[in-house]
Structure 1
Amino acid sequence: MRRVKADAGRRYRAYPTRDQDEVLTGWGHTARALWNVALEQRVYLWEQRRYTLRSAEQCKFLTAARTDLDWIGDLPAQAGQQILRSLDRAYDNFWNPNNPARFPARKKRGHRLSVPFPGQAVEVRKLNRKWAEVRLPKLGWLRFRLSRAMGGTIRNATVSCDGNGWHISFGVHTGRKPKAPNGKPACGVDFGVAASAFVSTETTPRLMPPSLTVNERWRLKALEQRKARQVTYTKKHNGGRYGRRLCTTIAQITKLTTRRANRRADFTHKLTTDLAKNHGLIGIEDLRVKNMTASAQGTPEAPGKNVRAKSGLNRSILDNAPGERRRQLEYKTRMYGSVLVTVPPFHTSQTCAQCGRVDPESRKGCGRLFACTRCGHEDDADHNASVEIEARARRTGGSDINSTRSIPRMRVPATGRRRMREAPKPAHTS
């Protein structure tokens, strides 16, 4: 029998009682400690004996630990088993060459609290149009705000906490299949910093509102400075043990940073949904965000230059979340019958969208104006880049997609042509 997997997610705001809040907080720290211990056990056995340990065998050790240690025994057995299976997936993603995941990392104390459960261990019942309850092992019924319909069979559930409070997330199997092509026009999108997104079929950029107001930025800066002073005092006079005031400061910082993340996520979801709904083909750049946001600090022997300026640029790039936009477009295009095409990003900002001329002088000083040195075409630099991205996407994704303009001849420099030819070849096996 084929196992049915979750193909959609549902997240709701949960409202635990005071007793449930204390229990969930303790379970969250236990889940984090169990992840670290299980990871340490796997690393030790591999380094000492070259033995690969998996969750099926670790579950036997978990059963013994639940008998000997009360703090582990208090955590539901289903949650502990789910944590070990998640560690299996983390290892599988690390060994998968097509997955960018790194080696599984240990979770610090400040990591977000979360407790996972399999779908068989939870039960959901609807109270009215706006409220519902979920029954969790050893906790009872937990109320949550039913902000949208579940729309499928529950395969897993996770209770997590952030700066705004507790949330319950469900992995749901909806059985939805990819839609047929919607036949709508194509577009290219240039993600940037000054202009959050410039669509080739539009004349004005889409700007992300500030994730924090001026007063909120000043307050966040003051709270971070206060935290630094309190941590220094704690290390000198309190043996490194966090006091009540320091915990309050950390909670206030977490609330502000969560608010900033939620506003960023709201803009990202609205942008990607609109693009996927109203276009048949979407072209974006295949950006290497990790390389783009690398630190310029350097080493003590060879210190970097303009470190603070590069740090500010890195924050601006990450604030626009180009990787998250690409991830959302990958699954939303399947939902709305469109196609996502990634194109090589080299020289998109220096290529004329009219004649295909590649010349750095066409955009002097990386300003907002693009003026071609050959044909005299003038346009906003980001809009010109988005039109060029659309042309490259149409050449890659197929010419049967409708477009609002003709495809210009694209002249790729010699280095670019060489990189396109030198694709990685699979190793020969005899």
Structure 2
Amino acid sequence: MKADTGRKYRLYPAPDAKRRLTEWGHTTRAVWNIALEQRVYVYRQRGHTLRSTEQCKHLTSARADLDWLADLPAQCAQQVLRNLDRAYENFWNPDLAAAFPARKKRGHRLSIPFPGQAVEVRKLNRHWAEVRLPKLGWVRFRLSRALGGTIRNATVTRDGTGWYISFGVHTGARPAPPNGRPDCGVDFGVASSAYVSTEPAPRIMPPTLTGAETARLKYMQRKQARQLTYAKKHNGGRYSNRLRRTIAAIGKIRARQANRRADFTHKLTTDLTKNHGMIGIEDLRVKNMTRSAKGTAAAPGRNVRQKSGLNRAILDNVPGERRRQLEYKARKHGSELVAVPAFHTSQTCAACGTVDPDSRKGCGRLFACTRCGHEDDADHNASVEIEARARRTGGSVTNSTRSTAPVRVPAPRRRRTREAPKHADAS
């Protein structure tokens, strides 16, 4: 049985357990980096690809010699190697756009994976439960929702706001039948976070940081820059306790910002899949959209600051995460997700189908068709066009990034008709 859903809860370990979990988090990061380096070295020298079954033998001998590695539960280290196997498989899979497995930095989020058979959960009351972790014992967590299935794996993580535990759960749920709701098209953007074709107004994501939080974040980042400069000049690059507290404060603000962004995204995708039978979205290339304009030393880019600000605004709306959530929530709520090419959706008239860049001058909010005179909000016009393209695909779910839905051909440019030359009458 494989896990088909996830559950995340707030974990409340004791102070000694926090210290030990922190050490385990750095140990799992070291195991990942060493195992990845070993695989790269062996492949370059011998052309052989190591797998977790072979590396587990080396892990057993290393645990006998290294105390810090032996302190980590053996199941966790073995799970790290299995996760590395999965990262390689995703990289080899042509249907996935996964990059080669990367090394984890010290500032990476702490994560300790556990297999399902290594943990045990018991309910204390309506709001609290405990999980038994190897070498730690029972740790309390907030039971904000029922598990609803069999635990297949667990992962303990830490961010700026505290500790969390995530369970991979097998529920055995099957895709829901079609819900019979009306269709819609959704245009994800920056000025309008999401404009639904069946709604008169856009959905705007609230600011993820308040004015005071933005000012504090800017202050703490400047403080971190000064402390880093001092550490490089006087401490040999070693971080002081003050610098670590500054980094923790920045991480807390960033974590709060990410939680608010995720809250809006979950509410948006749940509402769309529950209330619509088919959802059409653009097949966006987020990496291409957010590519830096910095250029090179020989050919420097132009408007680099403006492009970096646009990139942050695009990534703040997480179009890739919205698509991922729509894919699995559509199966759960009886809806369908159709991804259509984004080619000229903002320049196509939803009324007559004419494609003309002059219909949206200056990339403003107003769309005025140069052929039929149709006027509408540019994002709403694009959402209607997305819905029309999604319907022409036959209602099939398009999960591939190589969609082949038909696209309207741009209308030919109107040429000026020259007047016929006036010939003098022959006398």
TM-score (norm 1): 0.93
Offset at 1:214? 1.1
Greater C-alpha Rg: 2
- Which residue is equivalent to 1:181? 178
Residue of structure 1 aligned with 2:383, choices 360, 381, 386:
386
The answer for the alignment partner of 1:419 in structure 2 is none
Structure 1 SS opposite 2:279: strand
Q: Deviations over 1:374-395 (max 9, x none)?
A: 1100000000000000000000
| Alignment partner, residue 91 of structure 2 | 94
2:279 counterpart of 1:256: no
Q: Does the aligned pair in 1 maintain the 2:338–2:395 contact within 8 Å?
A: no
In structure 1, stretches of 5+ residues that fail to align are: 400-408, 416-430
Aligned partner of residue 309 in structure 2, secondary structure: helix
Partner of 1:82: 79
Structure 2 distance, partners of 1:99, 1:347, is: 26
Q: Matches of 1:8 and 1:168 in 2, distance apart?
A: 14
* Cα deviations by residue, 1:109-129 (Å, 9 ceiling, x for unpaired): 000001000000000000000
Q: Return the offset for 1:215.
A: 1.2
SS, match of residue 226 in structure 1:
helix
Residue 27 of structure 1 and its aligned partner are, at CA, apart by: 0.3
- Distance of 1:398 and 1:329 partners within structure 2: 15
1:268 paired residue among 260, 265, 270: 265
**Paired residues of 1:227 and 1:249 also in contact (CA < 8 A):** yes
Equivalents in 2 of 1:240, 1:198: separation in Å? 48
1:233 to 230, 238, 247: 230
Is the 8 Å Cα contact of residues 355 and 409 (structure 2) preserved in structure 1?
yes
Q: Structure 2: how far apart are the matches of 1:337 and 1:325?
A: 17
Deviations 1:81-128 (A, max 9, x none): 000000000000000001111000000000000100000000000000
Instruction: Find out whether 1:279 has 2:276 as its counterpart.
Output: yes
Counterpart pick for 1:352 among 342, 349, 352: 349
The Cα offsets for residues 332-356 of structure 1, whole Å up to 9 and x where unpaired, read as 0000000000000010000000000
CA contact (8 A) 2:8 2:164 kept: yes
Identity %: 76
Q: Secondary structure at the match of 1:242?
A: coil
Residue in 1 that maps onto 2:324: 327
From 268, 288, 291, give the equivalent of 1:291: 288
Residue 69 of structure 1 aligns with which residue? 66
1:38 aligns with 35
The CA distance in 1 between the partners of 2:410 and 2:352, in whole Å, is: 14
CA distance in structure 1 between the aligned counterparts of 2:126 and 2:193, rounded to whole angstroms:
37
Alpha-carbon contact 1:357-1:410 (below 8 Å) kept: no
CA distance in 2 between partners of 1:215 and 1:200 (Å): 35
Measure the CA separation in 1 of the matches of 2:49 and 2:285. Answer: 32
The CA distance in 2 between the partners of 1:290 and 1:249, in whole Å, is: 31
Q: Which residue of 2 aligns with 1:426?
A: none
The Cα shift of 1:413 comes to 3.3
Write out per-residue CA displacement over residues 204-249 of structure 1, whole angstroms, 9 at most, x where no aligned residue.
Answer: 0000000001111111111111101100100000011100100000
Kindly provide the CA deviation profile for residues 47-83 of structure 1, in whole angstroms up to 9, marking residues without a partner as x: 1111110000100000001101000000000000000
**1:217 corresponds to which residue?**
214
On the 8 A contact 1:341/1:397 being kept in 2, the answer is no
CA distance, structure 2, for counterparts of residue 131 and residue 214 of structure 1: 35
On the 8 A contact 2:354/2:410 being kept in 1, the answer is no
State the 4+ residue runs in structure 1 displaced beyond 6 angstroms. Answer: none
Instruction: Report how many aligned residue pairs link the two structures.
Output: 403
TM-superposed CA distance for 1:410, in Å, is 6.7
8 Å Cα contact 1:35-1:87 kept in structure 2:
yes
Partner SS, residue 348 of structure 1: coil
User: 2:384 and 2:296 mapped to 1: Cα distance?
Assistant: 40
In 2, Cα distance between equivalents of 1:412 and 1:353: 13
Using the TM superposition, give the Cα deviation of residue 414 of structure 1 relative to its aligned residue in structure 2, in angstroms: 9.0
Tell me how far apart the structure 1 counterparts of residues 35 and 142 of structure 2 sit (CA, whole Å): 34
Aligned partners of 1:35 and 1:52: how far apart in 2?
16
Q: Who is 2:374 aligned against? A: 377
Distance (Å, rounded) in 1 between the aligned partners of 2:219 and 2:98 = 35
Is the contact made by 1:351 and 1:385 (CA closer than 8 Å) also made in structure 2? yes
Alignment match of 1:133 (pick from 125, 130, 134): 130
CA displacement at 1:411 relative to structure 2? 3.0
Q: Tell me how far apart the structure 1 counterparts of residues 242 and 268 of structure 2 sit (CA, whole Å).
A: 40
Secondary structure at the counterpart of residue 305 of structure 1: coil
Q: Which residue of 2 aligns with 1:153?
A: 150
Give, as a single letter, the amino acid of the residue that structure 2 aligns with 1:288: R
- Contact 1:196/1:207 (<8 A) preserved: yes
Aligned to 2:240: 243
Are 1:199 and 2:196 counterparts?
A: yes
The one-character-per-residue Cα deviations of 1:145-180 (angstroms, maximum 9, x if unpaired) are: 000000000000000100011001000000000011
Structure 2 unpaired stretches of 5+: 397-405, 413-427
Q: Please state if 1:103 is matched with 2:96.
A: no
> What is the CA deviation profile of residues 275-327 of structure 1, one whole-angstrom value per residue up to 9, with x for unaligned ones?
00000000000000000000000000000000000000000000000000000
Map of 2:162 onto structure 1: 165
Matching of residue 318 in structure 1 with residue 315 in structure 2? yes
